[in-house]
Structures are given as structure tokens and as C-alpha cells.
């Protein structure tokens, strides 16, 4: 199930049943992981050479993703990258922004004042950062 959170990337989410069992949680996770993997595979097919599946040796996932779990919902956000370099209007590097699982909680952390000031000064910069980490919604919809 794809859920539109008005983000520039796709997020797959499902509601949880009341008091889910470990088996139910596992089945829901596998369903979401399968949908996320299919979205990554679709992106790779449409953008050859930009992204590759990971080795599945030892049972590892073929994709990078963030997982969120609350008492009512489970969500997976497949990723193309974990962050990006912020650049000024002149192209100069300002600093690296890394996004981990907190992005599903609508938060991010900057490590320095220059990055924070750049994000505050240019509202479009955050949109660009977000667009660069996930699988675009239009890819998964196709």
C-alpha cells in the first residue's frame, strides 16, 4: 500500500491490527519490504547505472530503506542515498546532510551552523535534499 504523505519520495505504509502478534508484524513487514524492493527495481530499470541492488549474502536486504513502527502503523521508505551535500547558489559546498530513520518522523539533524543557516535561507533546499534521498513517487506509480 503506497501512502501519499506529500513528500517527494515514496513511502509504503500499512495500519497495524490491535495487539499484533510477531507473525502478523513479520508478514506486514515482508509485504512492505517487497513493495519497496519492487519500487527500487523499477527505479533501477528506468535509471540504469544510477543505483544498484545490494548483495543479499547472509540474508541482507537488496535495498537501503528506513523503517518506522508505531503502535498503529508500519512504514518503509526505500532510499537512493542516506544524504546529500548542501551547496550554495555558487555551487560551493556548505556541508553534508545525513538523513536516517528520523526522516519518517519529519525531522532531520544538521551538524553545523552553516548547514542550518543555508536551510533557513533557502526553503527549496530542503525539498531538493528530500527529493535526492528516496525513490520518486512517479517512478513507483508507473
Contact 142, 42 (CB under 8 A): yes
Q: What is the rounded average pLDDT of the residues 34-55?
A: 90
Q: State yes or no: pLDDT of 142 exceeds 50.
A: no
Q: What is the rounded average pLDDT of the residues 57-86?
A: 87
How buried is residue 122: exposed, middle or buried, by Cβ count under 10 Å (0-12/13-18/19+)?
middle
pTM of the model: 0.79
Dig out the grid coordinates for 82 from the structure.
542516506
Question: What is the bridge-based pairing of β-strands 73-79 and 64-69?
Answer: antiparallel
Dig out the grid coordinates for 62 from the structure.
537488496
Q: State yes or no: pLDDT of 96 exceeds 70.
A: yes
Total number of residues shown for the chain: 142
How buried is residue 11: exposed, middle or buried, by Cβ count under 10 Å (0-12/13-18/19+)?
buried
Q: Return the percentage of the chain with pLDDT > 90, whole number.
A: 30
Dig out the grid coordinates for 138 from the structure.
512517479
pLDDT band at 41, cuts 50/70/90?
very high
Q: Is 87 helix (H, G, I), strand (E, B) or coil?
A: strand
> What is the radius of gyration, based on Cα positions, of the chain?
16
The helix (H) or strand (E) run that includes residue 30 is helix 22-46
Amino acid at each position: 500500500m503506497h501512502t501519499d504523505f506529500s513528500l517527494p519520495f515514496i513511502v509504503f505504509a500499512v495500519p497495524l491490527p490491535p495487539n499484533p502478534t510477531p507473525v502478523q508484524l513479520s508478514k506486514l513487514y515482508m509485504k512492505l519490504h517487497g513493495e519497496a524492493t519492487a519500487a527500487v527495481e523499477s527505479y533501477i530499470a528506468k535509471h540504469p547505472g544510477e543505483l544498484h541492488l545490494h548483495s543479499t549474502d547472509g540474508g541482507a536486504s537488496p535495498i537501503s530503506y528506513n523503517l518506522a513502527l508505531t503502535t498503529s502503523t508500519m512504514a518503509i521508505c526505500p532510499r537512493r542515498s542516506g544524504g546529500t551535500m548542501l551547496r550554495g547558489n555558487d555551487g560551493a559546498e556548505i556541508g553534508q546532510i545525513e538523513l536516517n530513520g528520523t526522516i519518517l518522523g519529519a525531522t532531520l539533524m544538521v551538524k553545523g551552523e552553516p548547514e542550518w543557516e543555508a536551510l533557513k535561507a533557502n526553503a527549496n533546499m530542503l525539498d531538493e535534499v528530500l527529493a535526492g534521498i528516496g525513490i520518486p513517487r512517479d517512478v513507483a506509480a508507473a
